[in-house]
Chain A
Amino acid sequence: MPDDVTPRPESAPAEAEIEPILTVPPVVGAPKPNPMLVVDDLSRSFGGLRAVDVDHLEVERGVVTALIGPNGAGKTTLFNLLTGFDRADTGSWSFNGEAVVAPSPDQLARKGMIRTFQLTKSLAKLTVLDNVLLGAPSQVGERLSAALFRSRWQHQEQANTAKAEELLERFNLAHMRDDLAGTLSGGQRKLLEVARALMADPMLIMLDEPMAGVNPALAQSLMGHIAQLAFEGLTVVFIEHAMEVVTGISDWVVVLAQGRVIAEGPPWKAIHDEVVIDAYLGRRRAGAGS
């Protein structure tokens, strides 16, 4: 379908070669060339409300996918289901080619699926540095048998600290490394949580409204950093409810409304989709009218 291989407009980050994702037709449930996540018939209801009801969704590996949709669309619930923090009523999904059975959050995280939370979960009584160090995967010192002997974990801890400091530097938090995380502002806590998630060396990072409350300049640099990581192979899914901001920083956009995927495609296409505009405007009109 050659007319789907739309050239990128000026605003999109220029790249040397055309990514495989650009060959994917912008239709709901479209198969991807190299999917990291494949979701089938996933549903979750709260009482009579169907919060999530996804027939088929694939998330391409190594690109930035934005999950957008009006408030209450089910974006966070979808994240909760996929990461094992909530139980689906029906459905199945696979991560990195492996079917996810009996999902448990910590197991999925150890396999490389790391998520952040819309309501930040920075650990207030740990220092900023300790928050990030907690993200480090397979630290031997986290095993009781090794914990007693500093020599067993000290080297790894030093290496982790160097890496953590680099991340803090990137997110403008280095000067606060020894402060308790509880003293940070809301936006800084969001950044801290992203830094901590990146510390875990994820294959797939799922960010729930990472830019909410973060000052715009910093948000830009945050997403720039994330785009760079995607370029290096990280798969990124991030939630955002304002559709305007996703254009410059995502390769693919999935639009959710009332639990269902109503559109997906490259950003310049997806957000101009009739259905999407209706979903957003419909919401706004209803909101303004009541």
Chain B
Amino acid sequence: MDFDIIFGNAARAAFGPEAVILALAAIGLNVHFGFTGLLNFGQVGFLLLGAYGTSVSVATFGWSLWVGVVVGLILSVALAVALGFPTLRLHAVMFAIVTIAAAEIIRILIGSTDAIGLTGGPLSVSFDAGAFYDLNPYPDGPHDRYGVGTFEFTGQQMWVITVGWVLVALVSLVVFLIVRSPWGRVLKSIREDEDAARSLGKNVFSYKMQALIIGGVIGGMGGVIDAIKTSGADPNGFRPQVTFFAYTALLLGGAATYLGPVLGAILFWFLREWIESFLRQLSAEAWLPGAVADFLSGSEGIISVAMVGLTLVLLMLFRPQGITGNRTEMQLDAR
């Protein structure tokens, strides 16, 4: 059992591109759910459109990567508008159902064999993200490594995560600035009681739409980073669980806080990777009974996700406000 390796893997996951993507997805959800009370269960749809908008623009249409990024973000806005118009006036539960269904429909359409010519269909799509890596300031020789001990990244990875975390910081700052404003106060009033907001002259539909678009575009940015990181997109990467991982990260860190979704995403990936690596090492231990080793090997990933789920359950029981949340605020729900 080599705890150095386990820790290295966990730390790399916690600060790597996957955590950046999850953080962006969770920040977007925080705008939807945390501050506005919109139960969006289709956040993955925004990531998907961000990733596919970028990938397809470059791979299929031969446009530049930067045009692709813009296309990806515009598609996220379009999804928000398309989802919001018919459903934002409906009950919160209807909205939740429509969002989860819409995201899954888009994924199935994009991954269907009929879409091969456009999106690559089930075969996934790949493109040359050279335009992004050309800007990489980190020397990226075969032996260049950045980090300490087992916690290290290659030059290319460093570039992706540098851009990624700067983006996370900027987005968090913007969210902080707009939410602490009178505009954000209206969002919070809608979260608590739409009719109270209406009775004071606030156009609830318009505010919800704005929140949906902003949170959606932030999710779309996560998708763009995903596309750049993998130089492509695969329909299997955008299954509904991505949304639930984002919710897990958000609730872990603390919904309706500014740093919660970021801390939550880091912690989510740290835990998930730590447990998986630990189990992987454990299943190789000689003293383990054969049956247990057989059960473990190959299932480490699934078990680790289950363990993260269990952590969330425990958290909800003992610290429902998340790591950074405010307990008294939480308890007012009960009144």
CA distance A75 to B199 in the complex (A): 17
**Nearest residue in B to A126 (C-beta to C-beta)?**
B188
* A135 close to B332 (CB less than 8 A): no
CA distance A196 to B185 in the complex (A): 14
* B195 close to A121 (CB less than 8 A): yes
Q: Which one, A59-67, A137-145, A228-236, is touching chain B?
A: A137-145
Convert B180-208 into 0s and 1s, putting 1 for each residue whose CB lies closer than 8 angstroms to a CB of A. Answer: 01111110110111011111111110000
**Nearest residue in B to A153 (C-beta to C-beta)?**
B182
Q: Which one, A43-51, A110-118, A279-287, is touching chain B?
A: A110-118
Using Cβ atoms and an 8 Å threshold, which residues of chain B touch A18?
Answer: none
Q: Is B87 an interface residue (CB 8 A)?
A: no
* A134 close to B200 (CB less than 8 A): yes
CA distance A180 to B330 in the complex (A): 11
> Closest Cβ of chain B: how far from A82's Cβ, in Å?
12
* A116 close to B199 (CB less than 8 A): yes
CA distance A141 to B178 in the complex (A): 9
**Interface size of B by Cβ–Cβ distance < 8 Å?**
30
Using Cβ atoms and an 8 Å threshold, which residues of chain B touch A85?
Answer: 195, 198-199
CA distance A172 to B133 in the complex (A): 63
Using Cβ atoms and an 8 Å threshold, which residues of chain B touch A135?
Answer: 200
* A142 close to B189 (CB less than 8 A): no
Using Cβ atoms and an 8 Å threshold, which residues of chain A touch B189?
Answer: 123, 126, 134
CA distance A153 to B182 in the complex (A): 8
* B198 close to A109 (CB less than 8 A): yes
Q: Is A40 an interface residue (CB 8 A)?
A: no
Chain A, 179-232, CB within 8 A of any chain B CB = 180, 182-183, 196-197, 200
* B200 close to A182 (CB less than 8 A): no
Q: Is A277 an interface residue (CB 8 A)?
A: no
Using Cβ atoms and an 8 Å threshold, which residues of chain A touch B195?
Answer: 85, 105, 117, 121
Q: Is A19 an interface residue (CB 8 A)?
A: no
Q: Is B177 an interface residue (CB 8 A)?
A: yes
> In terms of DSSP, what is the predominant structure of the interface of chain B?
helix
* A147 close to B201 (CB less than 8 A): no
Using Cβ atoms and an 8 Å threshold, which residues of chain A touch B204?
Answer: 106
Q: Is A148 an interface residue (CB 8 A)?
A: yes
**Nearest residue in B to A200 (C-beta to C-beta)?**
B200
* A142 close to B188 (CB less than 8 A): no
* B182 close to A133 (CB less than 8 A): yes
Using Cβ atoms and an 8 Å threshold, which residues of chain B touch A114?
Answer: 199-201
Using Cβ atoms and an 8 Å threshold, which residues of chain B touch A143?
Answer: 183
Chain A, 124-160, CB within 8 A of any chain B CB = 124-126, 130, 133-137, 139, 141-144, 146-148, 150, 153, 157
Which of B193, B195, B196, B329 counts the most A-chain CB atoms under 10 A from its CB?
B196
Contact with A148, one of B181, B198, B333 (Cβ below 8 angstroms): B181
Contact with B182, one of A106, A141, A197 (Cβ below 8 angstroms): A141
* B182 close to A125 (CB less than 8 A): no
* A180 close to B332 (CB less than 8 A): yes
> Closest Cβ of chain B: how far from A163's Cβ, in Å?
14
Using Cβ atoms and an 8 Å threshold, which residues of chain B touch A182?
Answer: 332, 335
* A141 close to B181 (CB less than 8 A): yes
Using Cβ atoms and an 8 Å threshold, which residues of chain A touch B174?
Answer: 148
Q: Is A83 an interface residue (CB 8 A)?
A: yes
CA distance A54 to B125 in the complex (A): 66
Using Cβ atoms and an 8 Å threshold, which residues of chain A touch B192?
Answer: 123-126
Which of B174, B210, B332, B333 counts the most A-chain CB atoms under 10 A from its CB?
B332
Contact with A180, one of B178, B196, B199, B329 (Cβ below 8 angstroms): B329
**Nearest residue in B to A137 (C-beta to C-beta)?**
B201
Using Cβ atoms and an 8 Å threshold, which residues of chain A touch B193?
Answer: 121, 123
11 residue pairs A–B, Cβ–Cβ below 8 Å: A116-B199, A117-B195, A121-B196, A124-B333, A125-B329, A126-B189, A134-B186, A134-B200, A137-B201, A148-B178, A197-B200
The 7 closest A-B pairs by CB, nearest first: A141-B182, A182-B332, A147-B183, A109-B201, A147-B181, A121-B196, A105-B198
Besides the known contacts A125-B188, A134-B189, A141-B183, 15 further A-B residue pairs in the complex with CB atoms under 8 A apart: A105-B195, A114-B199, A123-B196, A124-B333, A126-B189, A133-B182, A141-B182, A142-B185, A143-B183, A146-B181, A147-B178, A150-B177, A153-B182, A182-B335, A197-B199
